[in-house]
Amino acid sequence: MNFTLIPLSQIALDCKIKSNFHLKDLEKKIKKSTKIVVCNSLTSTNIQVPMSAAIYLNIYDTTFLNNFLDCFNLGAYHTGLQIDNTEYMFGAHEEYETGVFTCKPKSNRFKLRRTVFMGNCTIDEEAISEVISELMIDYIGKSYDIFKRNCNHFTNELCLKLLNKPIP
């Protein structure tokens, strides 16, 4: 991950702040796709402004019947949650290990039906990794159930934790 170092004194000038540095003023001045580390050389304290990670829900057809069932809002779908250039999914296997896996976005064995932009996540990369690590423990391969605990449950829970909103 790339960081841009900006001295706190420069930001204070840019934001026309003489004292009482406000993070909201800084956020207005920077691009959402940039991660900024603000360094105050006097105190050597760093303030990290989280970068904005685009999050997409990728929806895949698991059967050709979805072409007919979709008009009734029915179907059998697989989903994955894409965070930047990685897609996170959950699948079944017979081991007592995580069923969470990653892949290149939209490279699933199923046919991609649509991609839905879910929002921008503003928590930092380390916090995102923590959330995913917790879910990797909860979502073991043997716990998969086609109706009660499947890929859609996983992507919904991950989306709720990152964006505070469910998948459609």
* Coil, strand or helix at 116: strand
Name the active-site residue from 78, 93, 103, 121. 78
- Burial label for 99, CB within 10 Å (0-12, 13-18, 19+), is buried
Which residue has 């007919």 as its token pair? Answer: 68
CA distance 139 to 131: 12
Name the active-site residue from 39, 121, 151, 159. 151
Q: Locate 45 and state its tokens.
A: 């304290």
Write phi, then psi, for 68 (nearest 5 degrees): -90, -40
- Burial label for 141, CB within 10 Å (0-12, 13-18, 19+), is middle
What is the CB neighbour count within 10 angstroms for residue 38? 21
Query: Quick check: is 153 catalytic?
Result: no
Active site residues: 78, 151
